[in-house]
Structure 1
Amino acid sequence: MTQSTVQAFGFAQPASRTFNDTYMRVLCVALGGYAVVGKTFAYIGVPPLYLGELLLITGFLTFVRTGCWLASIATPAARILLVLMAWVVLRTVPYVGTYGADALRDSVIVTYGFFCFIVIALLLEDPGRLDRAIVSYYALIRVYAFIGGGCSALALAKVTIPGTNLQIIDLSPGAIATHLAGAAAFAILGLGRFSRIWVAMLLVSMVMVTSSRGAMLACIVAILASAILGGRLRQLVPVVAFAAVALAIASLLDINVRITPEGRAIGADQIIEALKSILGVSDASNYEATKEFRTRWWSTIQDYTFRGPYFWSGKGFGVNIAMEDGYQLWATTEGLRSPHNASMTILSRAGVPGLLLWVSLFGTWFTMLIRSMLMAQRRNETRWAKIFIWIASYGAAIIIEASFNVTLEGPMVGIWFWCLFGFGIAASMMFRSGLISEHAPDEMHRAE
């Protein structure tokens, strides 16, 4: 990093990078643990300081040591996030006394956003960390395609660690689907080299986790976005054709794979019904009942915010929204606290101002990534263009899954998402400012 760049952005070189480099490595390992093991991994720590809180506290120390405080809020997306976090804190503090830890847990859907600033600061302090982070991700997904489906099956089977009530793997199929979607986008864009066996196992894992609308739509959008924006549709066609033929044959043969002791199975019919549900033509009672339940709840939320007394404030963070909104049955039988839609959660808890900030945040972030991609394409910076498309596709997959399920409210995907959010901002800043590492790791160059 040159002295002129340092002065332009208003941050200084750190005295020592040992602590910050260690934190970066620990954060990468933690993200891998969240992606593979899930909630069980998140329980590492001593209550109330679990792994996510420990990462956040040490991350704050890392953030301070980088000296990149002003640079981390130099973009519109970062500033909007800062304002949104402040608004959520204001809507959380009054309820801490009444609801205690529940208020803090509900607020992490946004307050985990501080990981965004940590990542921005770390990457700007040492631009070489961007390539090292991509290499770490590359190593993860080379394994994840093979184990993603198995992780989902173990989670659904609720296999516990002997002598405890903790599951060996406790991660929703939708969460796994978002990571498989990111891996698929990475592969489609040619950011790494993958064998045909890897591609086949990725498809198998996707089939095992995409029996729900959210998971399937997340994968479809990420794959199509990366293929279209990256100009790789022609390469995608044979894979899609093979998958369609395999699905048709499996449906004709009525192939179902039992994945839980209770008899839950994954088969072609479930995949087809999920596709039909996305298109709005499914007759399956389970899909239609869930759809009706959610739309009724979301209409209730819109009534008391857009047209009711909670327009400005929402109901705050800490209150059980399901109980307050009259859905006690689901609150008591399924443990629901918030609607299965991140935007509706923000609207119900932070009011219309919170929703406007939420929508503006993602609109600004995606616009920044697309503009950076177009700029990279004009400059013939192919690798940079691919990175921006991958980040946008991956982020879109997570947001889509969060529109159908409780996803960002926990560390398993919430921390992943906000780290990815910061990664996208930092990558754009580095590209536009010339903060590009001169020597990317050899492995990534070979992957090109």
Structure 2
Amino acid sequence: MSGIALGRTATASLGDRYIPVLALGLLGYAALGKGFAYLGLPPLFIGEILLGFGLLALWQAGTLPAVFTALPNLLLAAMAAWVAARTLPFLGRHGVDALRDSVIILYGAFGVIVCGLILERPERLNRIFRLFAGFAAWYGPGGWTLYYLGKVARNIGVGWPGSGMPLIAIRPGEVAVHVAGSAVFALLFFGRTGLLRSALLLMSIAMVSAQSRGGMLAILLPLGVACLVSGRLAGMLRMGAIGAALLAGAHVAQIEVSLPPDNRVISAEQLLMNAASIVGAPGEGDLDGTKLWRLRWWEAIRNYTLHGPLFWTGQGFGMNLAEEDGFVVGLEHGGAVVRSPHNASMTILARAGVPGLALWALLLAAWLGMMAMNILEARLAGEPRWADWFLFLACYLAAAVIDASFDVALEGPMLGIWFWTIFGIGVGSSMVFRARGRAA
């Protein structure tokens, strides 16, 4: 990013090698999904390998004390300590399941690592910016292709050797988060996009919106906020007009796309039905049934925590929440039992009690507040690219939080590592930005 670098260093360190390796890992999660997560030799998969490499790079950087001078990182440390306290008692009984459940917060180590590496050499922000630019240039227009290919790969049985997982296995919500981030980046940094690129981006938005109500919100809300805050309403209106024309044409022509293996139909009617179901209008039975199942489970969690005996402790990490709470689903479709209540905040409340939920809310508020203050200060200082950078990071993280409010998202590495990496980039960028201001 022009204007961010504070200097350059000729000698490459472990941190310089880690940034592109982490970027490749994030690309694998975004493009290939759950199948990529099984890459490695159990119990060391790609996520654990990236974490170990990152911790070595952070140790060499020697910036850990500086990292914890930022309020969001201090809250993350407190949150991680509480989660560890609610995990350790269950290790003997639940084993690896306890560790697997705790990563919803303990993957925050990636945020600490990235923040520390940015503080070691602030010029790394230039490289991070270029990596995001390259990712956004193709993922936004091509996200729908990846999702479709994932469905085809699952249908014909193409998978990763040894794991049995499809070669591409990405949820619509995951695609939605990255399409949202790519769309916001394009809006803020690419300028006016061509008609073909705009049409392909709208295809990605339409495909995931027809498949996931949470995915629809994860795209439209951050994109709308980016347009309002940046003053780029003309671009939003242009995209909206193109989208409305394509949607009307698809509806008149009765265009439908059937996705394997369950032959779920994508159509203009389905897209509108998903939108209506979000605001409470009656929809198809499966849409209303899924929403009702979630609401009942969330109510049960509130009853035994906010108003019940598990106020301070929650259930802990390791047990299957669906079995404990009596909301088992998944077996009727021949799949695995759903372990979490399709909402990250409810998962934290159920497992870590009210103290865990309070720390989670403070953590998000502190980080988003930091981004908002940076946007304002950058605008007042006449540095619009810094302001747009912080706005992009805030919208990307918000998209992940929105998706995680409707699905099992941050509980796994596919989106969890992305979430905490963006968190760390935001804190590191903020500390560099403020250090520049003090130096000036």
Instruction: Please give the TM-score of this superposition, normalised by the length of structure 1.
Output: 0.91
How many equivalent pairs are there?
427
Query: Which letter maps to 1:186?
Result: F
| Equivalent in the alignment of 1:249 | 249
Q: Are the structure 2 counterparts of residues 196 and 86 from structure 1 closer, same or farther at C-alpha, using a change threshold of 3 Å? A: same
For residue 77 of structure 2, the aligned residue among 61, 77, 82 is 82
| Equivalent in the alignment of 2:99 | 104
State the SS of the aligned residue for 1:103.
helix
Q: Report the Cα distance in structure 2 between the residues aligned to 1:191 and 1:90, rounded to whole angstroms.
A: 46
Deviation at 1:156, TM superposition (A): 2.9
Query: Which letter maps to 1:40?
Result: G
- Whether 1:160 aligns to 2:162 is no
| Equivalent in the alignment of 1:442 | none
| Equivalent in the alignment of 1:381 | 383
Deviation at 1:245, TM superposition (A): 2.2
| Equivalent in the alignment of 2:115 | 120
Q: Report the Cα distance in structure 2 between the residues aligned to 1:362 and 1:311, rounded to whole angstroms.
A: 21
| Equivalent in the alignment of 1:441 | none
Alignment identity in percent? Answer: 42
| Equivalent in the alignment of 1:67 | 62
For residue 431 of structure 2, the aligned residue among 417, 429, 432 is 429
Q: Are the structure 2 counterparts of residues 283 and 41 from structure 1 closer, same or farther at C-alpha, using a change threshold of 3 Å? A: closer
Q: Which moves more between the two structures, 322-331 or 223-232?
A: 322-331
| Equivalent in the alignment of 2:215 | 215
Deviation at 1:43, TM superposition (A): 1.3
Please tell me whether the aligned partners of residues 108 and 420 of structure 2 are also in contact (alpha carbons under 8 angstroms).
Answer: yes
Which whole-Å deviations, capped at 9, do the CAs of 1:45-75 have from their partners, x for residues lacking one?
1100101011111111111111111111111
Query: Which letter maps to 1:161?
Result: V
Please tell me whether the aligned partners of residues 312 and 354 of structure 2 are also in contact (alpha carbons under 8 angstroms).
Answer: yes
Q: Which moves more between the two structures, 186-195 or 316-325?
A: 186-195
Deviation at 1:332, TM superposition (A): 7.1
Q: Report the Cα distance in structure 2 between the residues aligned to 1:127 and 1:199, rounded to whole angstroms.
A: 33
Deviation at 1:262, TM superposition (A): 3.4
Query: Which letter maps to 1:250?
Result: A
| Equivalent in the alignment of 1:175 | 174
Q: Are the structure 2 counterparts of residues 353 and 247 from structure 1 closer, same or farther at C-alpha, using a change threshold of 3 Å? A: same
Deviation at 1:160, TM superposition (A): 3.3
Query: Which letter maps to 1:141?
Result: A
Deviation at 1:395, TM superposition (A): 0.6
Q: Which moves more between the two structures, 310-319 or 320-329?
A: 320-329
| Equivalent in the alignment of 1:184 | 183
| Structure 1 gap segments, 5+ residues each | 1-5, 7-12, 437-448
Q: Report the Cα distance in structure 2 between the residues aligned to 1:331 and 1:110, rounded to whole angstroms.
A: 28
State the SS of the aligned residue for 2:408.
coil
Q: Are the structure 2 counterparts of residues 430 and 58 from structure 1 closer, same or farther at C-alpha, using a change threshold of 3 Å? A: same
Q: Are the structure 2 counterparts of residues 16 and 315 from structure 1 closer, same or farther at C-alpha, using a change threshold of 3 Å? A: farther
Q: Report the Cα distance in structure 2 between the residues aligned to 1:261 and 1:421, rounded to whole angstroms.
A: 35
Please tell me whether the aligned partners of residues 136 and 183 of structure 2 are also in contact (alpha carbons under 8 angstroms).
Answer: no
Please tell me whether the aligned partners of residues 14 and 66 of structure 1 are also in contact (alpha carbons under 8 angstroms).
Answer: no
Please tell me whether the aligned partners of residues 179 and 219 of structure 2 are also in contact (alpha carbons under 8 angstroms).
Answer: yes
For residue 351 of structure 2, the aligned residue among 349, 352, 376 is 349
State the SS of the aligned residue for 2:312.
coil
| Equivalent in the alignment of 1:371 | 373
| Equivalent in the alignment of 2:203 | 204
Please tell me whether the aligned partners of residues 323 and 331 of structure 1 are also in contact (alpha carbons under 8 angstroms).
Answer: no
Query: Which letter maps to 1:189?
Result: L
Q: Which moves more between the two structures, 385-394 or 236-245?
A: 236-245
| Equivalent in the alignment of 1:326 | 326
Deviation at 1:284, TM superposition (A): 2.0
Please tell me whether the aligned partners of residues 42 and 51 of structure 1 are also in contact (alpha carbons under 8 angstroms).
Answer: yes
| Equivalent in the alignment of 1:338 | 340
- Whether 1:28 aligns to 2:30 is no
Please tell me whether the aligned partners of residues 331 and 337 of structure 1 are also in contact (alpha carbons under 8 angstroms).
Answer: no
Q: Report the Cα distance in structure 1 between the residues aligned to 2:11 and 2:364, rounded to whole angstroms.
A: 34
| Equivalent in the alignment of 2:314 | 314
| Equivalent in the alignment of 1:10 | none
| Equivalent in the alignment of 2:415 | 413
Query: Which letter maps to 1:279?
Result: V
Which whole-Å deviations, capped at 9, do the CAs of 1:366-391 have from their partners, x for residues lacking one?
01000000000001101000001101
Please tell me whether the aligned partners of residues 322 and 330 of structure 1 are also in contact (alpha carbons under 8 angstroms).
Answer: no
| Equivalent in the alignment of 1:440 | none
Please tell me whether the aligned partners of residues 140 and 178 of structure 2 are also in contact (alpha carbons under 8 angstroms).
Answer: no
Deviation at 1:213, TM superposition (A): 1.0
Q: Report the Cα distance in structure 2 between the residues aligned to 1:290 and 1:418, rounded to whole angstroms.
A: 28
Deviation at 1:17, TM superposition (A): 3.8
| Structure 2 gap segments, 5+ residues each | 1-5
| Equivalent in the alignment of 1:265 | 265
| Equivalent in the alignment of 2:144 | 149
Q: Which moves more between the two structures, 151-160 or 30-39?
A: 151-160
Deviation at 1:193, TM superposition (A): 6.8
Q: Are the structure 2 counterparts of residues 364 and 248 from structure 1 closer, same or farther at C-alpha, using a change threshold of 3 Å? A: same
Q: Report the Cα distance in structure 2 between the residues aligned to 1:302 and 1:262, rounded to whole angstroms.
A: 34
| Equivalent in the alignment of 1:445 | none
Deviation at 1:329, TM superposition (A): 4.3
Q: Report the Cα distance in structure 2 between the residues aligned to 1:283 and 1:380, rounded to whole angstroms.
A: 48
Please tell me whether the aligned partners of residues 154 and 168 of structure 1 are also in contact (alpha carbons under 8 angstroms).
Answer: no
Query: Which letter maps to 2:157?
Result: T
Deviation at 1:191, TM superposition (A): 4.8
Q: Report the Cα distance in structure 1 between the residues aligned to 2:18 and 2:303, rounded to whole angstroms.
A: 45
Deviation at 1:236, TM superposition (A): 1.4
Cα RMSD (Å): 2.2
Query: Which letter maps to 2:384?
Result: T
State the SS of the aligned residue for 1:308.
coil
Deviation at 1:16, TM superposition (A): 5.9
Q: Report the Cα distance in structure 2 between the residues aligned to 1:332 and 1:256, rounded to whole angstroms.
A: 27
Deviation at 1:435, TM superposition (A): 8.1
Query: Which letter maps to 2:294?
Result: R
